[in-house]
Amino acid sequence: MPVLLFLLLLFISTFSVNAEQIKVVTESAFPLSYQKDGKITGAATDVVKATLDSVGLDYQIEIYPWARAYKKALMDENTLIYSMARTSSRENQFKWVGQIVPIKYHFMKLKSRSDIEVTSLDQAKKYKIGVVIEDVRHQYLRGENFTELQVVSSNEQNLAKLFKKRIDMFPISQLGLATLCNNANFDCSNLDKVYELSDLSNGLYMAYSKSTSDEIVNKTKNSLIQLKEQGIYNHFMDEFLK
């Protein structure tokens, strides 16, 4: 193949990927994604930026409440969402790129609540449980026919309700809890893990809307793999991999 023709085909291939801007949506979830000095930053954000920059994609990141970010990723074209739990109910609704953060979720209760005991998911159904609207934990527990779910817009509200004994438990990761307690000036040692939601403990991912082209998805997927192989991912996520 003549060199000029090869370069022309390469240009056309690159242009086809870069022609449309990618909308990237996330929630405010320190230290993974948050706004500082007018810029969106955080460990997961750094991974996403490095991944997309490596592909050469034109993109813009926006922070929304989780329910709105999730809806945009479901409905809008060329939209990437992070950091999102990968579940069986979501599997066919998105085009998955790869895991960003390993994570485990547990029901948490006040240490003083010795009356609360959970050894199975069914046993937890009798308790009042706080959930963030349309968060994966809300969707999962609703799908498991929990009837005592108390829906709020943030885990800050869940923590306040737990302290006031308006709920019995709420599901959260250890990382999320530490950040939550720090921001609320609440002593995490006053809380106890009750039960692990093992079906949800498979990490947080980045994923594209279904309408996104396979070309963009595959290039992004390969870029994330390369970041991990080159150790760049570990540099960003070191504190979460210990």
What phi and psi, each to the nearest 5 degrees, are found at residue 57? -80, 145
Q: How far is CA 30 from CA 42, 61, 211, in A?
A: 7, 16, 29
Q: What pLDDT shows up at residue 12?
A: 43
Alpha helices in 57-187 (DSSP H): 66-75, 121-124, 136-143, 155-163, 174-183
CA 153 to chain centre: 16
Q: What pLDDT shows up at residue 146?
A: 97
Rg (CA), the chain: 20
Report which of 89, 94, 48, 61 is spatially closest to residue 214, judged by C-alpha positions: 94
Q: What pLDDT shows up at residue 134?
A: 87
Q: What pLDDT shows up at residue 242?
A: 55
d(CA 172, CA 44): 18
Q: Please report how many Cα atoms fall inside a 13 Å half-sphere around the Cα of residue 219, on the Cβ side.
A: 17
3-state helix, strand, coil in the chain (%, to 5): 45, 25, 30
Fold classified for 19-102+203-240:
D-Maltodextrin-Binding Protein; domain 2 (3.40.190)
Q: What pLDDT shows up at residue 187?
A: 82
Quote the pTM value: 0.69
Instruction: Give the CATH H-level superfamily of domain 105-200.
Output: Periplasmic binding protein-like II (3.40.190.10)
- In sequence order, what DSSP letters do the residues of 191-215 get, joined into one string? EEEEEE-GGG-S-EEEEEETTS-HH
Q: What pLDDT shows up at residue 18?
A: 53
Q: What pLDDT shows up at residue 152?
A: 95
User: What is the residue-level pLDDT of the chain in tens, covering all 242 positions?
Assistant: 444 443 344 444 444 455 578 999 999 888 899 999 999 999 999 999 999 999 999 999 999 999 899 999 999 999 999 999 888 889 999 999 999 988 889 999 999 999 999 999 999 999 999 999 988 899 999 999 999 999 999 899 999 999 999 999 999 988 788 778 877 788 888 899 999 998 887 789 999 999 999 999 999 999 999 999 999 999 888 766 55
Report which of 138, 25, 146 is spatially closest to residue 78, judged by C-alpha positions: 25
Q: What pLDDT shows up at residue 67?
A: 87
CA angle at 66 for the pair 190 and 241, rounded to the nearest 5°: 60
Tokens 């829906």 belong to which residue?
Answer: 151
Q: Domain map of the chain by residue range?
A: 19-102+203-240, 105-200
